[in-house]
Amino acid sequence: MTKNDKETILIALKVYRGDDLERATSAFRGSDLTQQYGESGNTRQQILDNYRKHVTKVESAIRAVEAAPYDS
């Protein structure tokens, strides 16, 4: 993987990670997390849990790309 490829992949992963977890955490602060959120069919806690899983997977991928060596 070239340096340019690595940088591009890292940018894409960071954009894909997004800020949904932080935004939901802020929006749900002080509210009952057991309540269903809108028409989503999920509780606020389930939504937060899903965002946390997404962040964990993306951050793992970021670490893997960062650890990958450059082509010579």
pLDDT digits (tens, 9 = 90+) for 6-34: 999 999 999 999 999 999 999 999 999 99
β-pair partners for 43: 36
Is the pLDDT at 72 greater than 70? The verdict is no
Q: CB under 8 Å to 42, separation ≥6 — which residues?
A: 36, 50
β-pair partners for 36: 43
Q: Check residue 32 and give its pLDDT.
A: 98
